[in-house]
Amino acid sequence: MELQQFPPVRDQLKKCVRCGRCRTVCPIFAEIKNETVAPRGHVFMVQALRDNKVLPENQVYDRLSNCLLCETCSINCPSGIDIHELNKAARSFIYKKNPSVAKDLILDKVWTNPTLMRLGGLAMWTLNKSGLQKAARSLGLTKLLPGDLSQAEQIMQDVPRRSARSILPEINPPRGDKKLRVGYFLGCGTDLFSPSVAEATVRILTSCGCEVIIPRDMKCCGVPHAANGKTDSARNLMVHNLKVFNSLNLDYIITDCGSCLAAISETNLKLLLFDQGYDEEIDRFCSRVYDLNQFLIEVLEINPRGLSPLDLKVTYHDPCHLAKALNIRREPREILRMIPGLELVEMDDSERCCGGAGTFSITHYDLSMKVLGKKMESIARTGADVIATCCPSCIMQLKHGTNLFGYAAPVKHPVELLAESGVQFRQQ
């Protein structure tokens, strides 16, 4: 497929008026201050690729990869250009010309296989708990790892022993009368790195009378694949998940992860599966999809009772995909405000990216930490006891930030705090 055939390139590239507004809001440009990393520079690069003025080489891919895909530029673009989609289309175009055996192995063989992913998580836990990871770091052996992995492996030092899928059954019956049958789109990040979020989610939903189904044959949402130039792999995963969830008799489909929600949104599915005959399946699927916080507030209309007060000062970080791509900001805060004793303190620039951005913190560790530093400064000024957010990638990044920058505060999903209050629910 030629670059100009990608819908976002064909339809949007001509809109750019070169105003530079995107540069003023880009977290990466704020650190590097070079036009080649600015969103406008990426638009120029995509145009040059389309017009065959620049060859689709790895050097060009590397420049385009200096982007968090946080969508800040897109929502601030006066011309309404989806700059992040242009960037992803260009990465995919270049990757097709320059495939990587290592990337294919990780993303196509491992990341598409839930069993191998869980085995990988267990291996990371074993390395950490046995002291081998710390020993390797002390001996300098981690410096032998390729690229930024020698530093980024530090982010993986709190991997749980068991994944959420190994803890929770496929079918979780409701407590009391059954009101709804809900499918839980359990993403890789929550499954492997934040199983406590999944446990809290199931506990609360079953308390509300929901039967919760966690399909065993569900796979990754495809976000890491699309971000790393493997658009075809992302498409295959989306089609697989559409068929899995549409085959079940579900009233609703929920997810606790902002990135997963963006991936399975109608906008994204129809963009990547454009003109491939899946519109009917997408409509059926997306009509039932909700963010967990949104589902609790708008569908279940939870009215908590018997809450145990949590005497905590909490600040909330808006994940990029949830706030910018999906405009979900109010509902997580409403969940937090339900808890008696909890004081919600807003940080400055709560929507500024934390630098995690899925695999970005692994592939661009130093740059990611610079972006994270700004976020941790905003958090520290709040004096919060707990940092709350709704994305497992953000949770990992912010946990690393508390260690790296010496700010002693746990990082939790709002639903974890709600579950910790020991609440029972009734529907209005």
pLDDT tens-digit map of 339-366: 999 999 999 999 999 998 878 888 888 8
Contact present, 411 and 395 (Cβ < 8 Å):
yes
pLDDT of residue 1: 44
Domain boundaries for CATH 3.40.50 within the chain = 312-420
C-alpha dihedral, 265 to 24 to 352 to 27, nearest 10°: 90
pLDDT of residue 200: 95
277: left (phi over 0), alpha (psi -120 to 50) or beta: left
Check whether 2 has a pLDDT greater than 70.
no
pLDDT category at 11 given cuts 50, 70, 90 is low
| CA–CA gap between residue 312 and residue 317 (Å, rounded) | 16
Q: List the structure tokens of 124.
A: 């990371």
Give the tens place of pLDDT for each residue, 290-338.
999 999 999 998 877 777 889 999 999 999 999 998 999 999 999 999 9
Q: Where does 312-420 sit in CATH, by number?
A: 3.40.50
**DSSP letters spanning 279-321:** HHHHHHHHTTEEEHHHIIIIIS-B--BSPPP--EEEEE---HI
Contact present, 204 and 293 (Cβ < 8 Å):
no
| CA–CA gap between residue 312 and residue 405 (Å, rounded) | 21
Give the tens place of pLDDT for each residue, 69-94.
999 999 998 888 888 988 998 999 99
| CA–CA gap between residue 184 and residue 171 (Å, rounded) | 10
| CA–CA gap between residue 86 and residue 106 (Å, rounded) | 24
Cβ-in-10-Å burial (0-12, 13-18, 19+) of 276 comes to: exposed
Contact present, 370 and 361 (Cβ < 8 Å):
no
Domain boundaries for CATH 1.10.1060.10 within the chain = 3-97
Give the tens place of pLDDT for each residue, 16-69.
778 888 889 999 999 988 888 888 889 888 888 888 888 989 999 999 999 999
Greater model confidence, 198 or 160: 198
Cβ-in-10-Å burial (0-12, 13-18, 19+) of 23 comes to: middle
pLDDT category at 196 given cuts 50, 70, 90 is very high
What is the rounded radius of gyration, in angstroms, for the C-alpha atoms of the chain?
Answer: 21
pLDDT of residue 133: 43
| CA–CA gap between residue 414 and residue 329 (Å, rounded) | 12
Architecture (CATH level 2) of domain 3-97: Orthogonal Bundle (1.10)
- Percent of the chain at pLDDT above 70? 86
Mean pLDDT over each residue of the chain, to the nearest integer: 85
Ranges 14-28, 247-261, 276-290, 330-344: which has the least confidence: 14-28
pLDDT category at 125 given cuts 50, 70, 90 is very low
pLDDT of residue 199: 95
Q: What is the mean pLDDT of residues 364-381?
A: 92
Check whether 205 has a pLDDT greater than 50.
yes
pLDDT of residue 425: 52
- In sequence order, which residues have a C-beta less than 8 Å from that of residue 2 and are 6 or more positions away? 93
C-alpha dihedral, 225 to 231 to 232 to 235, nearest 10°: 80
